[in-house]
Amino acid sequence: MCTLQTKEKTDNCDGFAYPAALATTSTDVDGQRFDARYYERYYRNPRTRATTPQAVKRQAAFVAAYLKHLDLPVRRVLDIGCGLGWMLRALQNEFPKAHCSGVEYSEHLCRKNGWIQGSVTDFSARAPFDLVVCHDVLPSLDTAQCRAAVTNLAALCRGALYLGVLTEEDWDRCDRTRTDPDVHLRPAKWYRRQLAREFSSIGGGLFLKKSAPVTLWSLETLA
């Protein structure tokens, strides 16, 4: 979990959320890294948390407004690494007729909230989703796992991907007192290269599947 540096500490993470749909790493050999203490520190405690429900609602409103502007139908939503479910619930409010699914790697949160337990590297579904959300998940994976995760996200998505990643360039800008340091930092261009095979970047952390039935003007995409 990460947060941007800011003078205001009460509502300071519009860009990052939900770190837990992970493959096993060296610091998570028994699947217990993302326990109650982790979520108390990075989500529940106002003095140390990286985001707030209000910030997440703004994220969801932005995503919904952009996809409605593109006239992209959103009937199926997946939040993979859904954490406490703030984004999932906010998106359900934005798309009340959509079927929204939450997938989590954390055993603690799956027991507590009833999420589907799974990993971003190999979770599968019977049908792809119009909107896939994956925030603060990929930096916790090593490079091979991360490549597998991006490939899997492309398979799960038939519309838009909303992605949040702490990159190598972001490390000096993040508030390290509120950021999980146990991550793999990779350059932003590495992620762009992986994503470019299946997605077009349309700004704000949104990536549109190249096969989606949406026409974009040249300046609506980021080279």
Q: Any idea which of 143-152, 178-187, 196-205 has the lowest mean pLDDT?
A: 178-187
Residue carrying structure tokens 């906010």: 90
For the chain, the domains span: 36-220
Contact of 153 with 191, CB cutoff 8 Å: no
Tokens of 121: 């590297």
**Secondary-structure percent of the chain, ordered helix, strand, coil, rounded to 5:** 35, 15, 50
pLDDT band at 183 (very low <50, low <70, confident <90, very high): confident
The per-residue pLDDT of the chain, averaged, comes to 82
Distance CA 133, CA 214 (A): 19
Segments of 35-190 assigned E as strands: 76-80, 99-104, 116-117, 129-135, 157-164
Tell me the whole-structure pTM to 2 decimals.
Answer: 0.80
Tokens of 135: 């925030």
pLDDT of residue 17: 28
Task: Give 96-144 pLDDT, tens digit per residue.
Answer: 999 999 998 788 878 887 888 899 999 999 999 999 999 989 998 999 9
From the list 162, 160, 157, 116, the residue with the least C-alpha distance to 138 is 162
Tokens of 88: 């999932």
Domain 36-220 belongs to what architecture?
A: 3-Layer(aba) Sandwich (3.40)
Contact of 104 with 119, CB cutoff 8 Å: no
